Homo-oligomer: A and B are copies of this chain.
Amino acid sequence: MSDGQPLVVGIDVGGTKVLAVETDREGRVLRTARGETPGRLVDASLVEDVLSAALAEVADGRPVSAVGLAAAGFVDAAGERVRFAPHLPWRDDAVRARLADRWGTTVALDNDANCVARAEASYGAAQGVASALVVTLGTGIGGAIVLDGVVLRGHNGMAGEFGHMQVVPDGQPCECGRRGCWEQYCSGNELVRIVRGELGRMPTILDELCDGDPARLTGPMVSLAAEQGDLLARRAFGSVGDWLGVGVANLVAAFDPEAVVVGGGVSAAGDRLLDPARSALTRALVGSGHRDVPPLVRARFGPEAGAVGAADLARSLL
């Protein structure tokens, strides 16, 4: 507030991480704070405590004008309730009003992938594109459809739940209660699962990164190892990237968008993820020799896109 601008904060709450950002009117990130999501089997108030701490850290004593919340789950079309969230404890829960009470400020709520799409359509990789698909890879997969700059919400406010499209009949069990969902083959969770299954079978710096305890492996460790040339970590990105391209090919067959934007935490790996995905997209897309195959581009805001879009949503209410 020192420069007379209202303080607007966006908070992205994913399955493992919380990220709060202060942005300006052009979507630039001014401050950030981070936290860890306590998980889906705890009381919702524990998650909300983490959000409050991140908000307080960003605000640093300044009065907050509006907060946008990007939640990894189904948010109703009115933006009031989290209806269902495979990785979070909220169930048909009026989260927006409760947090507005708790924080004493304007709060806006939307699905995290819709927020990513909002950020990318307003300031980023989907700006000026007539039709775009946004796919976010984090703990799971989220997504959004953008037509002429507007996020398609769907009849229940649930459009874009790409991660729970079934890609393998009777496949891996999913937190949603079904089997073979795309996010079981293409997500931060799957990166970890792939390397965990191979630890001790081949030389890898991941042994060291997790202090010899496979249970302590995380997605960012796999990213770090891949950056340093670790073969096992790179193989995991190859597999997840391949599944990314196959699933995107399915979505492109259905929508035929001008561009596909990939965001979420895993997208920080950039071309290590996107190159195998591009190969798989061209291979798996029907009629790829007879059409423009859409460019597969990284979200401009990378892992911060959800929080930036949530802040943009909150700012629109001022």
A-to-B contact residues, CB < 8 Å? 74, 83-84, 92, 130-131, 143, 145, 147, 152-162, 164-169, 176, 178, 181, 246, 249-251, 253-258, 284, 286-287, 289-292, 294
Contact B155 A257 (CB under 8 A): yes
Contact A256-B291, Cβ < 8 Å, known A165-B250, A249-B166: no
Chain B residues, CB < 8 A from A159? 254-256
How many copies of the shown chain assemble into the complex?
A: 2
Give Cα A251–Cα B250 distance, bound, in whole angstroms.
10
Task: Decide: B161 and A253 in contact? CB cutoff 8 A.
Answer: yes
B residues near A254, Cβ cutoff 8 Å: 143, 145, 159-162, 165, 251, 254
B290 touching A83, Cβ below 8 Å: yes
Tell me whether A253 and B155 are in contact in the complex, defined as CB-CB below 8 angstroms, given that A84-B287, A287-B84, A291-B74 are known contacts. no
- Contacts A/B (CB < 8 Å), 10 sampled: A83-B287, A145-B254, A153-B256, A158-B256, A160-B254, A160-B256, A164-B287, A166-B250, A178-B284, A254-B254
* Max count, chain B CB within 10 A of own CB: residue among A162, A254, A257: A254
The smallest beta-carbon distance between A252 and chain B, in angstroms, is: 9
A246, closest chain B residue (CB): B166
A72 to chain B, nearest CB (A): 13
Checking B74, B131, B154, B289 against A255 with a beta-carbon cut-off of 8 angstroms, the contacting residue is B154
Residue A131 contacts which of B155, B162, B167 (CB distance < 8 angstroms)? B155
Bound Cα distance A159, B131 (Å)? 11
Contact yes or no, B164 A286, CB < 8 A: yes
Interface centre among A83, A164, A292 (most CB of B within 10 A): A164
| Chain B residues within 8 Å of A286, by CB | 161, 164, 176, 178, 181
In contact, A84 and B178 (Cβ under 8 angstroms): no
Partner of A292, one of B156, B167, B294: B156
Closest CB in chain B relative to A133 CB, distance in Å:
9
